[in-house]
Amino acid sequence: ERREKRKKKNLFFKQKTAYEIKECDWSSDVCSSDLGLEDRLLGMEITDVVRQGEIFRNLPDGDLFHLARISQISEYPTGKHLIRDGEVADSLYILADGEAEVRKNGTLVATLGPGRIFGEMALVEHTVRSTDVFITQPSRVIEIQTARLERLMQNYPRLGFVVISNIARGLSQKLRGAK
Protein backbone atom coordinates (compact mmCIF):
# COMPACT_ATOMS: atom_id res chain seq x y z
CA GLU A 1 0.00 0.00 0.00
CA ARG A 2 2.85 2.42 0.86
CA ARG A 3 4.63 1.59 -2.37
CA GLU A 4 1.47 2.35 -4.35
CA LYS A 5 1.04 5.72 -2.64
CA ARG A 6 4.68 6.53 -3.29
CA LYS A 7 4.38 5.60 -6.96
CA LYS A 8 1.27 7.76 -7.37
CA LYS A 9 2.99 10.68 -5.66
CA ASN A 10 5.92 10.54 -8.09
CA LEU A 11 4.13 10.56 -11.45
CA PHE A 12 5.95 13.66 -12.73
CA PHE A 13 9.44 12.20 -12.76
CA LYS A 14 11.15 8.85 -12.99
CA GLN A 15 12.19 7.50 -9.64
CA LYS A 16 13.84 4.36 -8.36
CA THR A 17 14.76 3.40 -4.87
CA ALA A 18 17.79 1.27 -4.19
CA TYR A 19 16.63 -2.25 -3.45
CA GLU A 20 12.95 -1.55 -4.10
CA ILE A 21 11.75 -5.14 -3.80
CA LYS A 22 8.68 -6.85 -2.39
CA GLU A 23 10.51 -8.14 0.67
CA CYS A 24 11.41 -4.62 1.81
CA ASP A 25 9.78 -3.25 4.98
CA TRP A 26 9.97 0.51 4.38
CA SER A 27 8.84 1.42 7.88
CA SER A 28 11.91 -0.20 9.45
CA ASP A 29 14.41 0.09 6.56
CA VAL A 30 14.99 -3.68 6.69
CA CYS A 31 15.32 -5.35 3.31
CA SER A 32 15.80 -8.90 2.16
CA SER A 33 19.22 -9.84 0.81
CA ASP A 34 17.55 -11.52 -2.19
CA LEU A 35 18.34 -8.67 -4.62
CA GLY A 36 18.03 -8.74 -8.37
CA LEU A 37 20.83 -7.59 -10.65
CA GLU A 38 19.12 -4.28 -11.48
CA ASP A 39 18.66 -3.51 -7.77
CA ARG A 40 22.30 -4.33 -7.05
CA LEU A 41 23.55 -2.15 -9.91
CA LEU A 42 21.36 0.72 -8.75
CA GLY A 43 22.69 0.30 -5.21
CA MET A 44 26.28 0.32 -6.47
CA GLU A 45 25.61 3.46 -8.53
CA ILE A 46 24.09 5.26 -5.54
CA THR A 47 27.02 4.14 -3.35
CA ASP A 48 29.53 5.52 -5.89
CA VAL A 49 27.77 8.89 -6.03
CA VAL A 50 27.24 9.14 -2.26
CA ARG A 51 30.96 8.41 -1.75
CA GLN A 52 31.75 11.66 -3.63
CA GLY A 53 29.70 13.81 -1.24
CA GLU A 54 31.74 15.83 1.24
CA ILE A 55 29.61 14.88 4.25
CA PHE A 56 30.01 11.16 3.53
CA ARG A 57 33.78 11.32 3.07
CA ASN A 58 35.80 8.62 4.89
CA LEU A 59 32.88 6.24 5.36
CA PRO A 60 33.66 2.56 4.81
CA ASP A 61 31.85 0.66 2.06
CA GLY A 62 29.56 -1.07 4.56
CA ASP A 63 28.23 2.28 5.79
CA LEU A 64 27.85 3.51 2.22
CA PHE A 65 25.79 0.40 1.50
CA HIS A 66 23.44 1.32 4.36
CA LEU A 67 23.12 4.85 2.94
CA ALA A 68 22.28 3.45 -0.50
CA ARG A 69 19.49 1.37 1.05
CA ILE A 70 17.71 4.47 2.38
CA SER A 71 18.30 6.57 -0.74
CA GLN A 72 16.26 7.08 -3.87
CA ILE A 73 17.42 8.36 -7.22
CA SER A 74 15.20 10.45 -9.48
CA GLU A 75 15.47 12.01 -12.91
CA TYR A 76 14.40 15.64 -13.31
CA PRO A 77 14.00 17.79 -16.42
CA THR A 78 15.49 21.24 -16.93
CA GLY A 79 13.49 23.88 -15.08
CA LYS A 80 12.32 21.67 -12.21
CA HIS A 81 11.98 23.71 -8.98
CA LEU A 82 13.38 21.03 -6.64
CA ILE A 83 13.68 22.96 -3.37
CA ARG A 84 11.50 25.94 -2.47
CA ASP A 85 12.39 28.68 -0.01
CA GLY A 86 10.08 28.37 3.01
CA GLU A 87 9.17 24.69 2.63
CA VAL A 88 9.88 22.17 5.37
CA ALA A 89 13.41 20.76 5.14
CA ASP A 90 13.05 16.98 5.39
CA SER A 91 15.63 15.63 2.90
CA LEU A 92 19.13 16.21 1.65
CA TYR A 93 20.18 15.72 -1.96
CA ILE A 94 23.22 14.69 -3.97
CA LEU A 95 23.47 15.62 -7.63
CA ALA A 96 24.42 12.38 -9.43
CA ASP A 97 24.71 14.10 -12.80
CA GLY A 98 23.46 17.24 -14.46
CA GLU A 99 23.45 20.75 -13.02
CA ALA A 100 21.44 22.83 -10.56
CA GLU A 101 21.39 26.44 -9.37
CA VAL A 102 20.91 27.65 -5.82
CA ARG A 103 19.08 30.99 -5.61
CA LYS A 104 18.33 33.27 -2.67
CA ASN A 105 15.58 35.83 -3.33
CA GLY A 106 16.14 35.30 -7.07
CA THR A 107 19.91 35.94 -6.89
CA LEU A 108 22.26 33.17 -8.01
CA VAL A 109 24.23 31.91 -5.00
CA ALA A 110 25.88 28.79 -6.45
CA THR A 111 25.93 26.45 -9.42
CA LEU A 112 26.11 22.78 -8.47
CA GLY A 113 27.58 19.93 -10.48
CA PRO A 114 27.81 16.16 -10.06
CA GLY A 115 28.71 14.94 -6.57
CA ARG A 116 27.56 18.13 -4.80
CA ILE A 117 25.33 17.82 -1.77
CA PHE A 118 22.60 20.36 -1.06
CA GLY A 119 19.89 20.62 1.56
CA GLU A 120 22.20 19.11 4.19
CA MET A 121 21.25 21.76 6.73
CA ALA A 122 18.04 19.74 7.19
CA LEU A 123 20.21 17.44 9.34
CA VAL A 124 21.43 20.30 11.51
CA GLU A 125 18.28 22.41 11.79
CA HIS A 126 14.76 21.05 11.58
CA THR A 127 13.33 24.19 10.04
CA VAL A 128 12.29 25.54 6.64
CA ARG A 129 14.45 25.92 3.55
CA SER A 130 16.20 29.26 3.06
CA THR A 131 16.96 29.01 -0.68
CA ASP A 132 15.50 27.74 -3.94
CA VAL A 133 17.17 25.06 -6.06
CA PHE A 134 16.39 24.75 -9.77
CA ILE A 135 17.51 22.01 -12.14
CA THR A 136 19.30 23.70 -15.07
CA GLN A 137 20.18 20.57 -17.09
CA PRO A 138 18.47 17.18 -17.17
CA SER A 139 19.68 15.65 -13.91
CA ARG A 140 19.64 12.60 -11.74
CA VAL A 141 19.40 13.42 -8.05
CA ILE A 142 19.77 11.18 -5.01
CA GLU A 143 17.45 12.01 -2.13
CA ILE A 144 17.99 10.91 1.46
CA GLN A 145 15.18 11.67 3.89
CA THR A 146 16.63 13.14 7.08
CA ALA A 147 14.40 11.06 9.38
CA ARG A 148 15.73 7.86 7.81
CA LEU A 149 19.31 9.13 7.94
CA GLU A 150 18.96 10.12 11.58
CA ARG A 151 17.60 6.65 12.40
CA LEU A 152 20.52 5.10 10.51
CA MET A 153 23.01 7.29 12.41
CA GLN A 154 21.46 6.17 15.72
CA ASN A 155 21.79 2.51 14.72
CA TYR A 156 25.35 2.99 13.40
CA PRO A 157 27.03 5.54 15.72
CA ARG A 158 30.34 5.52 13.81
CA LEU A 159 28.49 6.54 10.65
CA GLY A 160 26.70 9.28 12.60
CA PHE A 161 29.96 10.56 14.09
CA VAL A 162 31.65 10.76 10.67
CA VAL A 163 28.67 12.52 9.04
CA ILE A 164 28.29 15.10 11.82
CA SER A 165 32.07 15.67 11.94
CA ASN A 166 32.14 16.24 8.18
CA ILE A 167 29.21 18.69 8.39
CA ALA A 168 30.97 20.60 11.19
CA ARG A 169 34.22 20.67 9.19
CA GLY A 170 32.38 22.01 6.14
CA LEU A 171 30.64 24.71 8.16
CA SER A 172 33.96 25.71 9.74
CA GLN A 173 35.58 26.03 6.31
CA LYS A 174 32.68 28.14 5.04
CA LEU A 175 32.87 30.44 8.06
CA ARG A 176 36.64 30.90 7.63
CA GLY A 177 36.11 31.71 3.97
CA ALA A 178 33.44 34.30 4.82
CA LYS A 179 35.89 36.51 6.75
Average pLDDT over residues 129-145: 94
Three-class SS of residue 71? strand
List, as one string, the DSSP characters of 101-168: EEEETTEEEEEE-TT-EE-THHHH--SB--SEEEEEEEEEEEEEEHHHHHHHHHHSHHHHHHHHHHHH
Report the pLDDT value the prediction gives residue 44, as an integer from 0 to 100.
76
Per-residue pLDDT tens digits for 10-50: 333 334 444 332 233 434 443 444 455 556 667 777 878 87
